[in-house]
């Protein structure tokens, strides 16, 4: 396919949401790594254990730096569009992925919202087919709810009372 962007993008808050989530994850990881360094010192583990911890620290630092860059790149490279026949997704930083999901194959459409996404009025949409699932990571709340309804109508899904 051509390298043309599809008509819809993620929520502009996506990079902030992703950076906050990754920062929390990195913080917890570094705390665990700090505890492991303390245990290494307290119990006098072998020298090879120290070097493994140093390697994990270096990898963690590179990961933390990448987690600050990646969300902006993902935001620029994520787009989607839909009509009554197909849902098309385009994403990827280093390898570009084009996914076309026929509406007739969609079995369920759901939205999710964690506390950070709630703060920024965003939701993720998950579209499931028989063999796979596809997620649009962050849309503005009203857009996500509208998209969920339209996809359900196009896919002719029946809503189940809970």
Residues 68 and 103 in one domain: no
Closest among 61, 83, 78, 55 to 135, alpha carbons compared: 78
Q: Among 21, 54, 75, where does a domain finish?
A: 75
Three-class HEC string of 26-48: HHHHHHHHHHHHHHHHHHCCCHH
Residue 2 within any structural domain of the chain: no
Beta carbons of 126 and 135 less than 8 angstroms apart: yes
Residues 20 and 70 in one domain: yes
Residue 162 within any structural domain of the chain: no
Q: What is the pLDDT of residue 138?
A: 97
Distance CA 15, CA 19 (A): 6
Residue 148 within any structural domain of the chain: yes
Q: Among 47, 75, 103, where does a domain finish?
A: 75
* Angle subtended by helix axes 47-77 and 14-43, to nearest 10: 180
Residue 3 within any structural domain of the chain: no
CB neighbours of residue 51 within 10 Å? 10
Distance CA 64, CA 26 (A): 6
Distance CA 116, CA 102 (A): 31
Residues 13 and 70 in one domain: yes
Closest among 78, 73, 69 to 10, alpha carbons compared: 78
Taking only the tens of pLDDT, the chain with its 162 residues reads 456 678 999 999 999 999 999 999 999 999 999 999 999 999 999 999 999 999 999 999 999 999 999 999 999 999 999 999 999 999 999 999 999 999 999 999 999 999 999 999 999 999 999 999 999 999 999 999 999 999 999 988 655 444
Query: How many domains are contained in the chain?
Result: 2
Residues 21 and 71 in one domain: yes
Residue 161 within any structural domain of the chain: no
What are the two backbone dihedrals, phi and then psi, of residue 80, each rounded to the nearest 5 degrees? -150, 160
Q: What is the pLDDT of residue 1?
A: 47
Residues 48 and 85 in one domain: no
Residues 98 and 142 in one domain: yes
Residues 87 and 146 in one domain: yes
pTM of the model: 0.88
Task: Identify the domain containing residue 57 by its residue range.
Answer: 8-75
């Amino acid at each position: 396919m051509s390298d043309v962007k599809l008509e819809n993008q993620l929520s502009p808050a996506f990079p902030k949401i992703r950076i906050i989530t990754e920062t929390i994850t990195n913080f917890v990881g570094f705390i665990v790594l700090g505890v492991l360094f303390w245990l290494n010192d307290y119990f006098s583990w072998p020298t090879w254990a120290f070097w493994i911890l140093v390697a994990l620290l270096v990898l963690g630092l590179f990961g933390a730096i990448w987690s600050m860059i990646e969300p902006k790149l993902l935001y620029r490279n994520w787009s989607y569009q839909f009509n009554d026949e197909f849902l098309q997704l385009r994403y990827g930083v280093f390898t570009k992925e084009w996914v076309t999901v026929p509406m007739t194959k969609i079995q369920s459409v759901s939205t999710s919202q964690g506390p950070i996404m709630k703060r920024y009025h965003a939701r993720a949409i998950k579209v499931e087919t028989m063999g796979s699932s596809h997620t649009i990571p962050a849309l503005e709340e009203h857009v996500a709810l509208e998209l969920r309804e339209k996809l359900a109508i196009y896919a002719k899904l029946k809503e189940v009372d809970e």
